[in-house]
Amino acid sequence: MARKRKKSKSKKRNRQSKAKASSEATPSEDVEVAPDGVSADVDATDDLDVIDLDAETDGASVDDLLEAASALADEAIVASADTSNDALDQAIETSEAELDETVERIEPGDENDVTVVPLDEDEDITTISLDDDDVTVISLDDEDDDITTISLDDDVDEDAASLIAQALDLDGSGSEDSDAVETEGHADIDPDGSSDTEGDESDDASEGADGPVMTPDALAALRDLRTEGVGSVPTELVLDLGEGGTPEDRDRLLQAALAHVEMQDAVYRVPTETGQRRRFGAAATALVLLAALWVAVAPPSFIVPPTPPAVTDIDRLDGVRIALWLQAQQVEAFRVENGRLPEASGEIGGGLEGIRYVRSNSRQYQLVALTPDGRTLMYDSTSPDPTFAAIAARFSSLHGGSE
Amino acid sequence: MSRITRNLGLILAVALFVFAAIRPVRRAAAFEEARASLVADIEALRVAAERRVAEYDAWPTESAPGAIPPEVVAAFPGDSSLSGDGYTVEWSVLGFVTTVEQREPTDLPAEAIGVIDSLPATLVSTVRPSGLINVRASDPRILGALLDDYREEGAFVRDSVWSLVLPPPN
């Protein structure tokens, strides 16, 4: 807005300089009314030209008189133009004063309500401050800067922004009944331009005067911005105050900026989290952590399929006995095929390892293996343990009685 | 503070829970995959060996651990091997001694045949080969799973080796 003033001043200066140029040019064109040196000086400050028509006119020709009359006519025109410039200067000053009245500073009021106060003439910066954390600055001090940036640092609750935008009927789809937006006991934003609070009537009166007002112009400007793709309640609003913008355009953009700030303020007032909700979140987090610990340490069967039964020591001991019996079968097979006992375990076929073969004599032998607990288990060909007979019977039944 | 930041603790807890739940499930899935692959190898070798003994009355010859017996290579596709992730299958042949009573025939006249049963019998031992499939596995869960699957068929476990004896051909 200060830039607007400066532009007005600049225009004023231009016009004044033009007028001055016109007025300065005038004295140099002194009209010689009479050849005897009688002249009429017409300067910029004179509204009345004094012409001595009674002076020595004897020597003047009619043509001189006509020329002098023509010069007077031109001077009258110049004087009229100066008069118009003065009126224009007055008009410019009046407009500038009116413009100063429109430049405002928005400062935080009670409970961060936005208040509007007149801006001093010397101030070039309009500051809109919502609270200590969220500072919004509209900078208009640089004439060369065509872009005014309104920065709102905090994140915007998208849902709240959507709700507010919907309530403000920015997309034009709202009903007539949803004109006002209530924001937690503070300012109500009414498209009709009225401001109201949820509190008592005294608050209504005070805030109605100084509280934030969402004017129809602001809403219209926001609708236009939304149409132009600015979107709903962005965190940063960029307005282009181009050189060719008219004062009406700038007023419109300022209204849009103020409406944007007001909407952001309304967004901030939407309760996003309560103490009860926070406690609920902490409890849910603790429960999930406990469940994660439970699943990690002892996963339940509905999450992890049951693992196969482990091999027990009994199974392993039984396996050693079966292996001894099978190895004895290999020794007997060797004896049947070769008519003698093998000299060493190397002569015994089969894939059973870890069984020690001990030949006592040409007809007797022992097979020794270790049990899982480190004890030795022996198969003596002379008198095998009865458990081996049970194993033989089991294999005989499994293999159809061939053994 | 954004909503994500406010719920960061809950989000992390849920992620931890999902990770804790997925980890054992993935381990179980990997184990089941290895078990299925091993059982497939055992069954393929078993069927091929039994088919071989049914056709030629002879078991395939012993082979190195993890190698397919040359007589049944055709039963396995491509460059298959009898080894997988954490296990090795081995094929070998055992001999079982079978003892039967046998009475020597004599040149007695026909009318004296009835007295053969009264002659003393001789015990004759013969060797009947059988197949043996060994599986060496480092994971005891694999051994337990195989023992549970083949317990009724005479499988047994010793140390880190699971063994299954195939019956000799009739």
- Write out pLDDT tens, residues A355-382: 899 998 888 999 999 988 889 999 999 8
Look at residue B41 and tell me whether its pLDDT is greater than 60. yes
pLDDT band at A72 (very low <50, low <70, confident <90, very high): low
Contact status, residue A281 vs residue B6, Cβ threshold 8 Å: yes
pLDDT-above-70 percentage for chain A: 36
Q: How far apart are CA B82 and CA B93, in angstroms?
A: 16
B58 in contact with A, Cβ within 8 Å: no
Average of per-residue pLDDT across A277-291: 85
pLDDT band at A215 (very low <50, low <70, confident <90, very high): low
Average of per-residue pLDDT across A25-52: 42
Chain B residue numbers with beta carbons less than 8 Å from the beta carbon of A318 are 156
Most confident of A15-24, A118-127, B100-109: B100-109
B160 in contact with A, Cβ within 8 Å: no
Task: Give the best residue of B19, B158, B164 to mutate against chain A (max A CB count within 10 A).
Answer: B158
pLDDT band at A75 (very low <50, low <70, confident <90, very high): low
Look at residue A17 and tell me whether its pLDDT is greater than 50. no
**Which residue in the set B25, B158, B168 is minimally distant from A402, CB to CB?**
B168
pLDDT at A190: 40
B24 in contact with A, Cβ within 8 Å: yes
Look at residue A344 and tell me whether its pLDDT is greater than 80. yes
Chain A residue numbers with beta carbons less than 8 Å from the beta carbon of B17 are 288-289, 291-292, 295
pLDDT at B126: 86
pLDDT at B46: 92
Encode chain A in three state secondary structure.
CHHHHHHHHHHHHHHHHHHHHHHHHHHHCCEECCCCCCEECCCCCCCCCCCCCCCCCCCCCHHHHHHHHHHHHHHHHHHHHHHHHHHHHHHHHHHHHHHHHHCEEEEECHHHCEEEEECCCCCCEEEEECCCCCEEEEECCCCCCCEEEEECCCCCCHHHHHHHHHHCCCCCCCCCCCCCECCCCCCEECCCCCEECCCCHHHHHHHHHHCCCCCHHHHHHHHHHHHCCCCCCCCEEEEECCCCCCHHHHHHHHHHHHHHHHHHHHHHHCCCCCHHHHHHHHHHHHHHHHHHHHHHHCCCCCCCCCCCCCCCHHHHHHHHHHHHHHHHHHHHHHHHHHCCCCCCHHHCCCCCCCCEEEECCCCCEEEEEECCCCCEEEEECCCCCHHHHHHHHHHHHHCCCCC
Distance between B107 CA and the closest CA of chain A, angstroms: 28
pLDDT at A328: 92
pLDDT at B157: 94
Please, what's the b/e burial string for A231-266 (b: 16 or more CB within 10 A of its CB; e: otherwise)?
A: ebbeeebebebeeebeeeebbbbbbbbbbbbbbbbb
Please judge whether B127 and A330 are an interchain contact, meaning their C-beta atoms are less than 8 angstroms apart. no
Please judge whether A350 and B94 are an interchain contact, meaning their C-beta atoms are less than 8 angstroms apart. yes
pLDDT at A149: 43
Average of per-residue pLDDT across B134-153: 91
A160 in contact with B, Cβ within 8 Å: no
Please give the model's pTM, rounded to 2 decimal places: 0.49
pLDDT at A209: 41
Average of per-residue pLDDT across B128-143: 91
Tokens of B15: 């992620």
Is the pLDDT higher at B104 or at A287? A287
Contact status, residue B43 vs residue B146, Cβ threshold 8 Å: no
CB-defined contacts A:B, below 8 A:
151
Chain A residue numbers with beta carbons less than 8 Å from the beta carbon of B132 are 326, 350-351
pLDDT at B97: 86
Is the pLDDT higher at A362 or at A53? A362
Please give the residue of chain A at the shortest CA–CA distance from B135: A351
Average of per-residue pLDDT across A125-130: 45
Is the pLDDT higher at A348 or at B169? A348
pLDDT at A234: 60
A381, with CB counted inside 10 A (0-12, 13-18, 19+), is: middle
Is the pLDDT higher at A158 or at A63? A63
Please give the residue of chain B at the shortest CA–CA distance from A337: B127
Please judge whether A351 and B17 are an interchain contact, meaning their C-beta atoms are less than 8 angstroms apart. no
pLDDT at A178: 37
B67 in contact with A, Cβ within 8 Å: no
With a threshold of 0.85, tell me whether the complex ipTM lies above it.
no
Give the DSSP H/E element, type plus range, for residue B164: strand B161-166
Please judge whether A402 and B19 are an interchain contact, meaning their C-beta atoms are less than 8 angstroms apart. no
pLDDT-above-70 percentage for chain B: 85
Q: Which of residues 123-152 of B touch A (CB under 8 A)?
A: 125-128, 130, 132, 134, 140-141, 143-145, 147-148
pLDDT at A27: 40
